Every structure is written in C-alpha cells, then in structure tokens.
Amino acid sequence: MRQDYTDVQNIYIVCGKTDMRKGIDGLATLIQDSFDLDPYGDSIFLFAGGKKDRYKCLYFDGDGFAMLYKRLDSGKLQWPRSEREVKNLTQQELRWLLEGLAIQQPRAIAPSLKSSF
C-alpha cells in the first residue's frame, strides 16, 4: 500500500454533503456515475458528511482500494458547500483544508508568473 501521497496526480474533493454510510463500492460508483471520473486513476477522492467533522479518502493503489476515515475530536473542516461539484485541489489547498482552513486563501501569496526582463 502506498505510504506517500504527495506525488499523486489528482486530488479531488467532492463538495457538499456525501452520505458517509457509503463504503468503497458506493463511493467508487458515485465517482464514476455522478462525476464521470475514473476511480482507478492515480487520484485521491475526498468526501465529507453534513457535520464537517469527519471525512473519507478513497484511493486505488494498483491492487485494490484503500479508504481512510477520519473523525476530528475538535473543530470542523471548511468543506466547500456547492452541492454535486468536484474540484481538483493542489497539495497546498489540501493542506489548508485538512488544517481547518478554507481552500481559497485570499491573503496567501500567489505563485508568480514568468516575466521577461
């Protein structure tokens, strides 16, 4: 099983509320049928319920699916509310989200574009 997820190709967050009773098969079906994405690709898929104090992470590691389920003891995630939408996150946005911050940080310094001198 993969231990380092920092070089995964895509990090997808399923916005809004997901039924947290769903297991691996239910979440993989949701990914395929509702969002037309490939759950077998090199991608992490994140889901949260209505309370925003727990999330699930689904990943296919080549020989099977791995699912992480985490419940926070205190605090809540700032999960995007727009229902039935999937966003592709950067590693930085994922860190912000899992630290309890919003994925959009207006005061963060944006990466600069190349310019000519």
Q: Please write the tens of the pLDDT for every residue from 69-90.
A: 999 898 888 888 887 789 999 9
Q: How many CB atoms lie within 10 A of CB 86?
A: 18
pLDDT of 4-37, one tens digit each? 677 889 999 999 899 999 999 999 999 999 999 9
The predicted-structure confidence for 48-66, as pLDDT tens digits, reads as follows 988 899 999 999 988 999 9
d(CA 84, CA 96): 21
Is 52 exposed, middle or buried, given 0-12, 13-18 or 19+ CB atoms closer than 10 A?
Answer: middle
Percentage of the chain beyond pLDDT 70 is 95
What does residue 13 show for φ and ψ, rounded to 5 degrees?
-115, 125
Mean pLDDT of 96-112: 79
Do 65 and 57 meet the contact criterion of CB atoms below 8 Å apart? no
d(CA 43, CA 96): 18
